[in-house]
Amino acid sequence: MPERFSAFSFVDRITALEPGRWARGRFAVPAELPEFSTCLVAEAVGQLAAWVAMAQAEFRRRPVAALSEEMRIEREAAPGEILDLEVEIESGDSDTVAFAGWARLADGPVLSLSRCVGPMLPLEDFDDPEAVRGDFETLCGPGARPGRFGGIAKLDLVLIDRVPGQRLRATMNVPVSAPFFADHFPRRPVFPASLLLDAQVRRATGGAKSLDDVMRLAYRRYGGDRGFTPEQFRATASGVAGRDLSGWFRQVVSSADELDYTAALDWFGLQFVDGSWTLAVRQDATTAQRDHLRALTPPS
């Protein structure tokens, strides 16, 4: 599939590696993108750490949903710039991996992640181990084709109910064929948590704000040596959204509960098929729902 290793992959090449200990890599931010969110820079650092961890586990297990205790933002990365990535594996076994990482540009640092930890789960549940091994060999050799990331379409949201100062309810449907699904755990497609948070912010602000606004405010408040704690980031996201998102963070980030996609699916008129992770357009999808889906997944 053309989206594999491109639609949500942010390491072009692994330039140096000490197995199980550390790695350096590189990602060229495509020049044609309108912007490149700081949360995707953090994703790039996490993906480099994942490659080190998967190789050390001989591609039997992989980290999923790693969390960082602290992230320090120095600046944003602009389209056309080249990110130099570095990670250090602090500890790791068959159950968990702990790491720290950095992203830099030629003229200075972009961000750092400290005290990161992620559970190690069976790789074959999420992807083809041999295909992943082949991708790793490509990264350690000639590298993947730069510029293959085409960006992510913004998610549309529909307001259902709102009582100022009391409640707000809206729907966002997970798209049936967004390219990142073919790259983000293909055997068990997962909607990236960063995009779920983006949808929460857009829903709360009627589309006026997004996750990019959260990251920019976090940069202004905590950029440089200060960094921010998880509590400060949650407070920043809640401030931008204009509502308390602590419950959402508990469900999506701090618990192992299965995510509830009901509201998201309804926005696009989609449904899971026969209890599987396969998505299909509902037969009773409204014109508005189909319009939302077309806006999210424009024809190539």
Structural tokens at position 225: 């040596």
pLDDT for residue 44: 94
Q: Helices H, strands E: what count in the chain?
A: 8, 11
Q: Which superfamily, per CATH, for 13-140?
A: Hotdog Thioesterase (3.10.129.10)
The mean per-residue pLDDT over the stretch 70-90 comes to: 92
Amino acid, single-letter form, for residue 253: V
Rg (C-alpha) for the chain, rounded Å, is 19
pTM above 0.75, yes or no: no
Structural tokens at position 194: 């960063």
Tell me: the pLDDT tens digits for 177-222?
A: 555 556 566 666 555 666 667 666 766 776 677 777 877 787 677 7
| Cβ count near 90 (within 10 Å) | 14
CA distance 21 to 130: 22
**CA 272 distance to own-chain centroid:** 22
Tell me: the pLDDT tens digits for 257-278?
A: 666 666 567 767 778 777 666 6
**Half-sphere exposure (Cβ direction) of 248: Cα atoms closer than 13 Å:** 20
**Half-sphere exposure (Cβ direction) of 99: Cα atoms closer than 13 Å:** 31
85-99, 135-149, 150-164, 205-219: range with lowest mean pLDDT:
150-164
pLDDT of 244 above 90:
no
Q: Diameter of the chain by CA atoms?
A: 56
| Cβ count near 295 (within 10 Å) | 14
As annotated, the residues of the chain forming the CATH 3.10.129.10 domain(s) are 13-140
